[in-house]
Amino acid sequence: MTDMSSQQILLQRVVREVSPAVAEPLVTRLPQATGKPDAAARALTLLDELQELSEKAATAALAAVPELDRRGGLSHILLWLDLGVALAESSGASALKYFKDSPMVLGLIESADARTEVLTIGLEIAEQDANVALEYIRQAPQILADVPTAHVRPWLDISIELTQVNVVVGLEFIRQISKLAPVLPLESVRDWATVGMKLIVPNSLGKPDYVATMEYLRTSPAILRNIEHPAIREKVVSLCLVLAEHSPESGMTWLAESPDLLGTLPSMEWRIRLLQYGALLAEKHAEATLEYLRRAPELAGLIGDRPEALTRFENWFKAGMEVAAYSPDGARAYFSVESRKALASVEQALSGVPFRLVARRVKLFVQGLCGADVAVAALPDSLTAPVRATVSGDGSAISFPALLRRYPTAVENERLYLVMAAHEAGHLEFGTYRLRLDSLADLIETVRQRYGRTNEARPGTLAALFQLYPNPALVRDLWTVLEDARIEFLLQTEYPGLRCDLARLAAESIVPRDPAQGVMPKELVVDCLLRLSTGEAEDTAVPKAVREEVSILWNMCRSVLKTTATAEETVRVVDQVSVRLEELLAARGAMIPAERCEEQKDVEAGQTKPEQPGDQYRAVTDVAYRGAMNPEFITWSPERFDRQHKSPTESDRSPGEHVRSGDHEPGSGDMLREGRSLPSVVEQCLTLEIDAPQTQETMAHGERAVLYPEWDHRIEDYRMNWCRVVERPADSGSDEFVMKTLATQRSTVKSLRRFFEGLRPPAFRRVAGQTDGEEVDLDAVVRRAGEQRAGAEGDDRLYIRREKRTRDVAVSFLIDISGSTSRDLGTGRRVIDIEKEGLVLLCEALDAVGDQYGLYAYSGQGRGNVEFLTIKDFDDRLGATTAHRLGGLAPRHQNRDGAAIRHATAKLVARDAKNRVLVLLSDGRPLDDQYKDEYSLEDTKAALREARRRGIETFCVTIDRDAETYLRRMYAEARYCVIHSVEALPTKLPLLYRQLTA
């Protein structure tokens, strides 16, 4: 067939689908456009093949030729048709879609060589998978924008592999190439894709479910884009793959959290080191790696940026690997910083001093200064939001930062703690917060009239008084500076040994404002007064531009630097200084250029930023050792003001004022739930000692929550702050049960009361043989007379003294009310009914003997909600409230014995009694979610051991007939008894108590 006849035949075929006016020039230009004289013949051959495979596809191809020509693709018609034939061999539908979409797609690719390469690769891919080839053609313009043509084929090879698993997954991969290529090198893409394959799980019908994989393909490129450096992204993906091999959920969690976690690290070196160690850990203990990755950035921040920081971190990691070598569970606890060993290792790594290590010294130091029992505590802060030392509103406690690392050595940081303590103790000793607004009544009225505030309510606190001024923040700063100066002057006068430390810390703590930031005149003046108050010389502390004004004001301030100055006088001087400051600076509308102290040169002119009407006064720079001042604590006396020490409202606080720890909304329970936000390492370190006061949170309706550790025998260590015990009053019910028990057991009650009244000691006992007393001991007198007659001197102890006797006993009864106490005994009564009946009789007995006692019940659901219900607290009287609470007791959830025992122990330790007893009444072994079997038994045993170590006698009563299988082991070091007949419990319980306290 000649070329001319081929063109005619081709023209006839094309004319069937398009007009002759369009078809003739198109066919005529075909040889020239393709550069092949026999282009028409080749095109006819391809169309014939296509016709045999799919008539619809052949028709669609002819109809699309004009559009292909219009888009500049006529030169590629032979390759274009060839690809269509290859697609039609697999699917006519795919070929139809291809001929419909491809002319526009090729038109979006400007380079002719690029179009040729796209079609060539598409043809090669079509021989393997038509679906991949078709999707590639559709996505080619976007792919080529980010992937060099020479690198496209390896990406598509991965797609073909994915398509063999699932077509939809493979096609989705092609769609994501344009998003993935800019953030991940090709070498890491196969690992990235493998992670997605790990997410395929069987659905309810047992067939593969690809939903999670599809979501991963669509969202992970955006997550990786948030990680700045490509090398870091590669390591993140590699680590993600190792985690996904063990647990796909862990791999996804790491991927989602990695940008934020890595972003907190100070440098690239830190990020690489963290990921390298993570890879080492994941090879052997993937389950502990996620905990490591979450905690390590915080630890890096705590260690700081000193030269030895990486070495400290490495040592901490090596210690964890040693734990992992013998205990995978221990490794998880170590790297999540949950165990006591982990926290001790953190303390070793820290570059600062935790307050826990100096708390005893600080407490003794404060008590020596104040001459009173002042509690000290640590604020569970983080390094991202540092806090300052502060005094409580009632002056009974001082709180300090949980960690100090201002200085490179522990000695210097410990000295800083002591100076902080001295400063805050000075506020207590020298009456800062003993001031009452009554003595300032005249000043308050003057201020209200001066600023036109007479129509407003009288301020209830000193903070509210400051709000009456035009610039409250300025007045508050003046008060802080002058009151701190007064306290330090008195401290240096009373305790000369503090002078050197105060002077040294002051010189190192104050940092002048940066002139480049712009300094308002008022800010500059207050800064100068602060520096002068610390003893700095005027030549270096005050720029000459404001030296005259500062000199006038400082002379006024000096009146508080005398031994007779009071807190009241400070407030009055503050008022005078603020008024005079406004007068002196009234004419200054421009910024005053600040002078650098070290230059000691006059700065009389320069470019300054004019003060704008919207400029806000910025608070004075904090001095490291000076605590936060709280004018909210200074109120009217109760007699003068119709409220008693009402807590300050939010309106009393100036904008941006620091809110002390403890004022936040309670949320500690969140850290114990799934997906919790982890408590800070510093906060965990505060409770490193098992018997230390535990973290508490006050809740509504008289509830409070306390965190306790829990013993994990698998890691042979405590998990710190692991359980959250919520103490609240027991629910009230009807007192019918109590009344009925007392009526039916009337004779038993009488005999018990009579018996236990006999145990009550006489009010006084006569003690003979004393050197003085209320009466003469006649027997001793006669005996001495006989001895003297015999020539001996004789004993001079001739008196009888009457001494008061009491039973110094405090006992706590802890009752298990888990769901198992609902078990029916076959007599129409439940286990809990027998327990309640025993408690009713016990209360009558204890009321008769006069011992102090508390009744508590416990249950709960999970370690984040261990319920501790108060039936009768130690200081409650036995009466209607107790009866209603006993009547309201009902079976609840599960029983986590260890946490309940620890809370009951803490309450007993707080009682002033010589003998303390804890009695646990249970109907079976501990059980609560994962708290079971060996774990629960060992923790309960540990909790009882802790109680005995703190001087508490423990005794366990169980009514579980099968208890012998576990009881001896759980109560090995405690006294216990098994009551085989549940019905005997009510009468046996008081008798057991008599034996315990005899």
Other C-beta atoms closer than 10 Å to the C-beta of 337 total 25
Structural tokens at position 517: 């930031």
Nearest CA to 672 among 860, 858, 925?
860
At 379-422, the pLDDT tens digits run: 765 444 567 888 888 888 898 888 887 887 888 888 899 999 99
Q: Would you kindly state where each structural domain of the chain is located, as residue ranges? A: 353-430, 433-588, 735-759+807-997, 765-803
Tell me, yes or no, if the pTM score tops 0.75.
no
- Burial pattern 800-816, b for ≥16 Cβ within 10 A else e, equals bbeeeeeeebbbbbbbb
State the Cα torsion 359-361-364-369 to the nearest 10°: -100
Q: Pick 764 or 498 by higher pLDDT.
A: 498
pLDDT at residue 12, as a whole number:
86
Strand order in the sheet with 397-401: 375-379, 397-401, 390-391
- Contact between 924 and 963 (Cβ < 8 Å): yes
Question: 701 falls in which pLDDT band (50, 70, 90)?
Answer: low
Both tokens of 397, joined, read 């406690």
CA distance 536 to 623: 14
The DSSP letter of residue 715 is T
Class (C level, CATH) for 735-759+807-997? alpha beta
In total, the chain counts a number of residues equal to: 998
Number of neighbouring beta carbons within 10 Å of residue 354 = 24
pLDDT in tens, 43-100: 889 998 988 998 899 899 889 989 888 888 888 889 999 999 999 998 889 889 999 9
DSSP per residue, 21-77: HHHHHHHHTHHHHHT-TTHHHHHHHHHHHHHHH-HHHHHHHHHHHHHHHHTT-GGGH
What is the dihedral angle through the alpha carbons of 930, 931, 937, 940, rounded to the nearest 10 degrees? 160
Give the CA distances from residue 955 to residues 193, 616, 628, 969, 974, in Å, rounded to whole numbers and listed in that order.
60, 65, 48, 14, 6
The answer, yes or no, to whether residue 588 has pLDDT greater than 70, is: no
Look up tokens 């790594």; give the residue.
Answer: 349
Q: Which residues pair with 858 in a beta bridge?
A: 816, 868
Question: Dihedral, CA atoms, 688, 694, 695, 701, nearest 10 degrees?
Answer: 170
CB 705 within 8 A of CB 725: yes
Mean pLDDT of the chain: 82
Q: What's the N-to-C CA distance of the chain in angstroms? A: 124
Would the pLDDT of 606 be above 60? Answer: no
Helices (H), 404-458: 410-429, 441-450
Look up residue 972 and give its DSSP letter.
Answer: T
Residue 207, exposed/middle/buried by CB under 10 A (0-12, 13-18, 19+)? exposed
Phi-psi region of 725 (alpha: psi -120 to 50; beta: other; left: phi over 0): beta
Question: What distance in Å separates the CA atoms of residue 645 and residue 341, rounded to the nearest whole number?
Answer: 43
- At which residue do the structure tokens 């009789």 appear? 841
259 falls in which pLDDT band (50, 70, 90)? very high
Instruction: Pick the closest to residue 187 from 241, 141, 228 (CA basis).
Output: 241
Give per-residue pLDDT as tens, 283-311. Answer: 888 889 999 999 899 888 878 777 788 89
